[in-house]
Structure 1
Amino acid sequence: MTGPFTTNLYGCGEREGNQIMKLPKTGTWLRMLASAQPNRAARRAGAPPSGWGALARSVSRFGLVYSGLYCATNPQIVSSLLGGGLGNQRAAAETWSKLCAMPTVRKWVAGRVFNTTVDDRFEGGDNRYAWVGQFCSLAAAAGITPVWAALDRRQTSYHTVRPWIQTAVRFSLAAQMFYYGAAKAVPLQFQTPLSRLVEPLGNFSPMDLLWAQTGHSKPYQILLGCAEIAGGLLLLSPRTATAGALLSSAELAQVLLLNLTFDVPVKLHTSHLLLLSLALLAPEAGRLTTFFLSDKEIHLPARPQLFGSTRANQIATAVQVVAGLGLLAVQLRSDWQLWKKMGGGQAKPPLYGIWQVDEFTVGGEHRPPLTDDEQRWRRVVFDLNNVMSVQRMDDSLESYITMPDRTRGSITLLKMTDPTWNATLTVQRQAGNQLTLEGNIDGDKLQLQLHRLDHEKFTLNDRGFHWVQENSSLR
């Protein structure tokens, strides 16, 4: 039976009377998903938004592909979306990121394009593996964008998928703000080794100086973390997302400046997080400029919604907030446990402190404290996490991992740079703060007499806070 064709709601052809349908092609389905009718909330607000220009569409396509590749291959982002931590979640994030990062492709590009070699190690830093990966992502995005444009050339805007993309970006950025904010709020990120008190300032790297400065003031570090957490919390709800993006972009700009000026190897990742926050602010750029730079009235357009009904959007917002709070809670709990196990909350070892070497004997020969004696020790620092640092007469420091054996009264030293090296020292505690160390190191029999210094008496620790100051303490 034949009859005139009509078009149903889904764009499918059907005959009047017997409802014989003709399924659309795959390209038609994709175009319908990307250009669905505005939801009821948008229709109540007025006419649907107009189409985008060719440049805006190209930039949006490129940005979506590149940011998607970056977020999917970055273990820090994947780990933070799983709740952070160092256990199975971290391992799963690294496995997934390595799978998506295609290390074989990176190694091939590194050798053929940059004439260098890379391994499959990613530490969230600025190593060659990360830089080659970003080149691959840029090249992939540059190649996919024109193909997408050709297949979707009839599409004039992406208003329907825009809120979904913004939600993914908001959550990825919020998870990272929680990740870094919780590490400061606990506080865990900036820990200052005890050996910093006796190391000459000129021997500090710029990153050492930044870590020592921030780690010295725990209230300052905690407030920095709370500010980053606040930015993440504001990003959870669409209603407060603009404020969250503003706060996050300001914080990330400061972090990027510190990373650039103190040579912290997270410049690449921080730059991408800042770009994500600016991408969230881009649709609001005109209104923000008007708000800050003029006294004109601002008209807010209808906010793009995920679903067609108000009830569904309210539920979606609640789910986003609850899920975000869950991520924050898991991250805080993980960092708190880590702080108690490996940070400032752990129990201090019995030998914790800075020990001054009074007598130093090598093979029975007494060695006076001469500054040109490269073998003599000046101080021994026993720190947290079973770390022992030896300061020589030229003020250089060498660190060891210690394995104490309390039943035998000895400690085994392991070098961080040489896993095959080891040495054993016997420990004898005397009355007061006196200590004797004996043992063989690199074929030499050493005997040391030491006394413990009160590190709380150092000016940096003893200065304290003063509301009233007659003179500046700046020297």
Structure 2
Amino acid sequence: MESTSLVITQWSKTKKILFRFFFTYFVLFLLFMHDFSNIFTFFLSKIIPWFGENIFNINYEIKSVFTGSSDTTYNYILIFTVFLFSILSTIIWSLLDRKRTNYKKLYYWLTVSLRFYLALILISYGMAKIIKTQFPYPSYNRLNQTYGESSPMGLAWTFLGFSKGYNLFMGFAEVAAVLLLFRRTLTFGLIITVATLANVVAINFFYDVPVKIVSSHLLLIALFLLAYNVKDLYEFFFLKKPVEIKHIEKPRLKSWMNKTFVVIKIIIIFLAIPYALYSRMGSNEESPLKGYYEVKEFKVNDSVYSASEVTRYEITKWKDMLIESKQWMRIKKGDDKTSWYGIDLNEEKNKLKLTGYRDSTEVYNLKYKEIDTTNFIIRGSLKSDSIHVKFNKTKDYRKNYLLTNRGFHWINERPYNR
């Protein structure tokens, strides 16, 4: 029979109510927001639209599909639903469990779950910054925009993506969440994590980055964990009293359980970090055809056409082409509108298949030929029309811009603010 080393302590009524609320809220948040196995999808797909229509008077369709944004209408109503369920659960739980002295054991296991969750999430985000896949260097498309043409999020991504050093700084600060895995380093790790996440949340809110819900909840989790030592920290920093940082009380566990936790921590440290590195490396892998391609000649059905004439064939004359990653490329057409295409590259056969991002029926089946380092030709078909394009290729296009070639200077006799 399992014994415990926990001293029986009477929690206040307020403390017990707050614990019941946060326990329910965090559990539902993790289950609903990360419903990887779609266990709750059917239930949520019914109740979320109902809430939206009947409580918030939303008259458009509320979809749960992934769009790259965590700040969708669906997710905001989901958080509202979690909040309501948590209040209801707290009321019922408080009525049924009024004689409970404390929830020390349950609190411990909740903090273990939150510590591991927070650590794994931040390690993954941190590795994306260390290997610079989350904030890539400014693309040619970005470099040719004016400040006024960029969105607030685009401006933030350009600012953060410019500097490899700053990415390393941010990345190591987030990877420091590995300290959350150990009770002895938990408080120190939480202080770093709270400061790091506060900066992330500020950027997300003030630069309109659509990760406000998730980042705010990560910060909330970190603050919840840090609240255990908030009195000690207050006395140390503001009252200048000597304090001893307390560790979260751990129930006495059987030997095999302690050994299991040690193995899990070792696996996370020695496998989770390399896995995060591996999984992030392919997310923005450069294409072997990387470069900026300026059109020298554009033919449709073996005849050279102007932009207005090409339109008759449902093809707008290309002006330039940009390839940076293995997954996507951009084409600017004669009307100065840009179109994005998914790439399917076969290097062995020199084949290039492009599929429209917004119109999946716009498919180019092409063959390419690199004549030399600066001349590039593609030919192929779009529906019933054939196209033939000659390009002037520039691989290292960043050297032409002040932003990307200014570099770092220890000595500046005067500000170089242009």
TM-score scaled by length of structure 1? 0.75
> What are the superposed Cα offsets for residues 424-447 of structure 1, whole Å, 9 maximum, x if unpaired?
344343344112344555777654
Sort the Cα spacing of 1:70 and 1:53 in 2 relative to 1 into closer, same or farther, 3 A. same
Which SS does the other structure have where 2:36 is aligned? helix
Q: Map of 1:200-211 to 2, 5 A cutoff?
A: 200-211=146-157
**Could you tell me which amino acid in structure 2 is paired with residue 352 of structure 1?**
K
Sort the Cα spacing of 1:325 and 1:98 in 2 relative to 1 into closer, same or farther, 3 A. farther
**Could you tell me which amino acid in structure 1 is paired with residue 83 of structure 2?**
L
> What are the superposed Cα offsets for residues 224-255 of structure 1, whole Å, 9 maximum, x if unpaired?
1211111x221111122111221111111111
Task: Calculate the aligned-residue CA RMSD, in Å.
Answer: 3.3
Question: Aligned partners of 1:165 and 1:409: how far apart in 2?
Answer: 55
Aligned residue number for residue 207 of structure 2:
262
Aligned residue number for residue 355 of structure 2:
414
Q: Structure 1 residue 143 and structure 2 residue 88: aligned? A: yes
For residue 299 of structure 1, report the CA deviation from its aligned partner: 5.1
Sort the Cα spacing of 1:431 and 1:275 in 2 relative to 1 into closer, same or farther, 3 A. closer
Aligned residue number for residue 310 of structure 2:
none
Q: Map of 1:15-414 to 2, 5 A cutoff?
A: 39-40=4-5, 48-49=8-9, 51-75=10-34, 94-96=36-38, 98-99=40-41, 102-116=44-58, 117-122=61-66, 125-192=70-137, 193-230=139-176, 232-298=177-243, 303-307=248-252, 316=258, 319-320=260-261, 322-344=263-285, 348-349=287-288, 351-360=289-298, 364-365=303-304, 367=306, 375-392=316-333, 395-404=336-345, 409-414=350-355
For residue 382 of structure 1, report the CA deviation from its aligned partner: 1.9
Sort the Cα spacing of 1:428 and 1:165 in 2 relative to 1 into closer, same or farther, 3 A. closer
Question: Aligned partners of 1:340 and 1:234: how far apart in 2?
Answer: 24
For residue 277 of structure 1, report the CA deviation from its aligned partner: 0.8
Aligned residue number for residue 312 of structure 2:
none
Q: Map of 1:422-441 to 2, 5 A cutoff?
A: 422-439=363-380, 441=382
Once the two structures are aligned, what percentage of the paired residues are identical?
A: 26
**Could you tell me which amino acid in structure 1 is paired with residue 12 of structure 2?**
G
Deviates more, 1:114-123 or 1:208-217: 114-123
Sort the Cα spacing of 1:210 and 1:321 in 2 relative to 1 into closer, same or farther, 3 A. farther
Sort the Cα spacing of 1:242 and 1:229 in 2 relative to 1 into closer, same or farther, 3 A. same
For residue 175 of structure 1, report the CA deviation from its aligned partner: 2.0
**Could you tell me which amino acid in structure 2 is paired with residue 110 of structure 1?**
G
Question: Aligned partners of 2:47 and 2:190: how far apart in 1?
Answer: 34
Question: Aligned partners of 2:262 and 2:140: how far apart in 1?
Answer: 41
Sort the Cα spacing of 1:391 and 1:243 in 2 relative to 1 into closer, same or farther, 3 A. same
Aligned residue number for residue 466 of structure 1:
409
Which SS does the other structure have where 2:342 is aligned? strand
Sort the Cα spacing of 1:319 and 1:96 in 2 relative to 1 into closer, same or farther, 3 A. farther
Sort the Cα spacing of 1:124 and 1:96 in 2 relative to 1 into closer, same or farther, 3 A. farther
**Could you tell me which amino acid in structure 1 is paired with residue 331 of structure 2?**
V
Question: Aligned partners of 1:278 and 1:422: how far apart in 2?
Answer: 50
For residue 321 of structure 1, report the CA deviation from its aligned partner: 5.2
1:126–1:267 CA contact under 8 A, matched in 2 = yes
Question: Aligned partners of 1:414 and 1:378: how far apart in 2?
Answer: 18
Sort the Cα spacing of 1:354 and 1:125 in 2 relative to 1 into closer, same or farther, 3 A. same
Sort the Cα spacing of 1:169 and 1:366 in 2 relative to 1 into closer, same or farther, 3 A. closer
Question: Aligned partners of 2:114 and 2:340: how far apart in 1?
Answer: 42
Which SS does the other structure have where 2:37 is aligned? helix
Which SS does the other structure have where 1:450 is aligned? strand
Unaligned runs of 5+ in 2: 308-314
TM-score scaled by length of structure 2? 0.84
**Could you tell me which amino acid in structure 1 is paired with residue 150 of structure 2?**
F
Deviates more, 1:430-439 or 1:219-228: 430-439
For residue 71 of structure 1, report the CA deviation from its aligned partner: 1.4
Unaligned runs of 5+ in 1: 1-9, 11-35, 76-92, 369-373
> What are the superposed Cα offsets for residues 208-228 of structure 1, whole Å, 9 maximum, x if unpaired?
222232223233223312111
Which SS does the other structure have where 1:144 is aligned? helix
**Could you tell me which amino acid in structure 2 is paired with residue 332 of structure 1?**
I
2:229–2:246 CA contact under 8 A, matched in 1 = no
